Structure 1
């Protein structure tokens, strides 16, 4: 998210974002009135993009900054993050029909409060999971969330192109464990989650879309692979063994299925670096950490979140070197939290968790082939879903540049051999 300058004027990190006209003073006046005690009126109202191009793909994110007058005659500045649905012209087909806002609305209204309550009842008051949500609108026209602006509390993201170093990834693994443990205990107490949390993007409805996207990107992908710094015979072997679009989709559906005999949790579902925020003590040490973006939550194996986060967001120097250590860090905090919450079912051992990571290991290649290419892209004005899915020459050129991008190439040069050694490259 962008910062507010010292002059308190909002900085717009994306001048190309077309901010919807309905995001105005009239829309926000009742929201601010409810949120701010002794609110009288809005003096200045400024909406700007909340993120730079390439930092968010599934929704429109707007930072709203308002100078307001209070009933005692004093003034103050408030700011919020508004999140709403993409317009169809912006490549919204994949996102607007996947219950993303229904999931996130229910997470803020029901499940996050449940999880926090479980910890408080267990005597733990310092667990933070998500920002405060001050307004939810679900109407035929749109679905919209208005959240507190964490920048006001000096929260920030890490540089996604550098990734998490060990102190940050330790905190993130602990945060995932806290979230997962509460979700498992909540399931034990209250029964299954809503059916919407059983769904992800790999459904038969979207088979034609995904197969088409996968197949028409292959020529540029293989062309890019031949530029990577790997032995040529290895590259040709990887290419020869690549799945077709249909095979990849079938393998993705298979790894998405839930085995109720396994330990399962509510996954964050989009656990990459931009969806974690941190603030810091004066000595530079991490103070607080928090999740943002709860649109992709899904019931299933914690291996989903773990593979996704490590592949997309661990810094290159530790991504493979510390992989097994990451699982141990997560497991230690998971066990601790499950015991705090008095979880009554079987708690997986560290060995069992490593086995689960292999069983659902195809999440690694799925994430590397798709999401990682997006998260490795430096910020540029063309970084949007429409450009990535464009089937023409312009789209081909964009995808080739995406796959030859040095940040993606360097990551894949270590991930492909790692996946092959783990026996998970094809998901067989």
Structure 2
């Protein structure tokens, strides 16, 4: 087997043995001969914070036909202290378990509805690494995160999310230990601890920005009081609760974790990716995380209720088709969303300013730079002055005051 690194800085362990193991695991029962690997992409700065992403094309023969080519996405932990922290948090093992033990069952329940790209391989040594089929050759691509998602994109997201959530409820009822106990720990709470300095800097800078907005001086004071309560309340706000509707929540649902397929310029299907934070908890976690980071502002402002109703229609229909009862009411779902508003608020402050920045302005948005006082302040100044960020966060702040999150 020839492995061509294409002058890209590729980890040394991604060699012929690595790819032989990938195909052996990903195509069980088949005698696969991998002929060559050609890397086409290395890590891209400013887009991935928890992992390094590589892309490679593989030519192989399965003994049944002529040579075939498949594109692979390879996802590995970053090196150094940060990668060690994320490894201790178990982010990659959580994602591995979702792909191996959960998603195949969900897709069977949904009669072949595909939730995510195909998983091929996981290895722990020398560095935690996951390999997936690259679905970009099939037409699945990221949407424009800077502009935000329009109504058609958002409706599609909530329809498939509803199917995903509903199927997880059925599985959890049938196999409570496999779902309820296996995925009941929220890994993003640990991520907040690892990135605590960046969290604090984001909120502190945001409070200064809010103070400059006409009519928001009192709000900035409320925000500062809220900041002081984050460390002791993060687990309560974001983690699973005893009395709530429970689904397997994606728990990191924003525009860059969704791949869309288009026909004649319109979105017709999607895959969710990056399940490393998934948790058995309230569906409200996914709602507020997505609503406050990913739609265009006009959609959030004017279509919020319609999107929730669209979700519920799909959610209810899926549960009925799967014979689940009792089915939660729309009012139940609305209560779950309101109880988890704080989750969306926190992640909007943490990441929306980065989402709204043009890629040409955020090529160096690494965690290291965001934690650097001067570089981080410059990034925050740019991101928190964008029109979409300001409009969205003014909406969110008013919402937080209305429901009592900010007092």
Q: Tell me the TM-score normalised to structure 2 length.
A: 0.87
Select which of 184, 192, 206 maps to 1:198.
Answer: 184
Q: CA 1:66–1:286 in 2, change beyond 3 Å: closer, same or farther?
A: same
Which residue matches 2:91?
100
Cα distance in 2 for partners of 1:339, 1:73 equals 43
Which residue matches 1:53?
45
Q: Is the 8 A contact 1:211 1:246 kept in 2?
A: no
1:196 Cα deviation (Å)? 5.4
Give RMSD over aligned pairs: 2.9
Asked if 1:369 corresponds to 2:369, the answer is no
SS of residue paired to 1:58 = coil
* 1:331-350 matched pairs, under 5 angstroms: 331-344=312-325, 346-350=326-330
Which residue matches 1:110?
101
SS of residue paired to 2:78 = coil
Cα distance in 2 for partners of 1:114, 1:70 equals 26
Cα distance in 2 for partners of 1:41, 1:317 equals 49
Cα distance in 1 for partners of 2:226, 2:84 equals 23
* 1:95-244 matched pairs, under 5 angstroms: 95-119=86-110, 125-139=111-125, 141-192=126-177, 193=179, 195=181, 197-201=183-187, 203=189, 212-226=197-211, 230-231=213-214, 234-242=215-223, 243=225
1:347 Cα deviation (Å)? 1.8
Q: CA 1:30–1:93 in 2, change beyond 3 Å: closer, same or farther?
A: closer
Cα distance in 2 for partners of 1:21, 1:342 equals 50
1:387 Cα deviation (Å)? 1.5
1:26 Cα deviation (Å)? 4.0
1:219 Cα deviation (Å)? 4.6
Q: CA 1:94–1:308 in 2, change beyond 3 Å: closer, same or farther?
A: farther
1:260 Cα deviation (Å)? 3.5
| Deviation larger for 171-180 or 28-37 | 28-37
Which residue matches 2:78?
86
Q: Structure 2: any 5+ residue segments left out of the alignment?
A: none
1:67 Cα deviation (Å)? 4.3
Deviations 1:118-142 (A, max 9, x none): 23xxxxx241111111112133x32
SS of residue paired to 2:298 = coil
Deviations 1:97-128 (A, max 9, x none): 22111111111111111212223xxxxx2411
Structure with higher helix content: 2
Which residue matches 1:21?
12
Cα distance in 2 for partners of 1:329, 1:375 equals 25
Q: Is the 8 A contact 1:105 1:136 kept in 2?
A: yes
| Deviation larger for 193-202 or 153-162 | 193-202
Q: Is the 8 A contact 2:71 2:133 kept in 1?
A: yes
Q: Structure 1: any 5+ residue segments left out of the alignment?
A: 1-9, 120-124
Which residue matches 1:4?
none
1:217 Cα deviation (Å)? 4.2
Which residue matches 1:267?
249
Q: Give the paired residue count.
A: 397
Cα distance in 1 for partners of 2:230, 2:250 equals 23
1:405 Cα deviation (Å)? 3.9
SS of residue paired to 2:285 = helix
Q: Tell me the TM-score normalised to structure 1 length.
A: 0.83
Q: Is the 8 A contact 2:74 2:129 kept in 1?
A: yes
Q: Is the 8 A contact 1:214 1:245 kept in 2?
A: no
SS of residue paired to 1:293 = coil
SS of residue paired to 2:57 = strand
1:70 Cα deviation (Å)? 7.6
Asked if 1:394 corresponds to 2:375, the answer is yes
| Deviation larger for 149-158 or 34-43 | 34-43
